[in-house]
Each structure stands twice: as C-alpha cells, then as structure tokens.
Copies of this chain bind each other. A is one copy, B any other.
Amino acid sequence: MKLAKVIGNVVSSIKTDSHRNMKLMVVSPVDQNYQPIGNSFVAVDGSQAGIGDIVLVIEEGGSARQVLGKSDAAVDAVIVGIIDELVE
C-alpha cells in the first residue's frame, strides 16, 4: 500500500459504467516524511478524503472491489484510509 497526498479531482463525462457514482481523485505518492516520490495517479475515494489529505492507497483490483462493495467495479486503486500520523 502507498502513502499519498490527494491533489485533485477527476472530471470526465465519458466514463465506464462502474465509475458512475464514484469519486476519482488524483493522488501523488509520498514517503514517510510526506515528501513527493514518483508519479501521480488516480484512485477511487473509499474514505471521504479531501484535497490535501495524506491517505493510504491500495493498488490491487480485488481489494479495491472489496472495499467499494462492487464486485464488477473496474478499479485498480482505492483510497482506504486517511493518515493521522506516522510513529517512528
């Protein structure tokens, strides 16, 4: 699972059916110091996340469908938690 910062919302009128009532968010992976690492990508929101939140993202279709409760969802990444802090 990746730590990431939510940096945007995706707006697309042409989309696959299973995305209809989903909030697609642009996330930028971060390290343990919340510094950006790697390329941004898109995840479905499963935690009522907002722009600027540091979140936990799973990149696995089976888990994504399980979290969203939609066995036919075409999803390969989902936000599954909002981070309060990292304790070292």
Q: Which residues of A contact B (CB under 8 A)?
A: 1-3, 7-16, 18-19, 24, 26, 28-29, 31-32, 37-43, 46-48, 51, 56, 58-64, 66-67, 72-78, 80-88
Contact = CB atoms under 8 A, between A and B. Distances in A.
A78 to B, nearest CB: 8
Contact of A86 (B11, B46, B84): B11
Q: What is the count of identical protomers in the complex?
A: 5
A32 B1 CA distance: 21
29 contacts: A1-B24, A1-B42, A1-B77, A3-B40, A3-B42, A7-B32, A8-B32, A8-B86, A8-B88, A9-B87, A10-B81, A11-B84, A11-B87, A12-B56, A12-B83, A14-B47, A15-B82, A16-B46, A16-B80, A18-B67, A19-B81, A24-B56, A28-B32, A31-B40, A42-B56, A60-B61, A61-B62, A62-B62, A66-B72
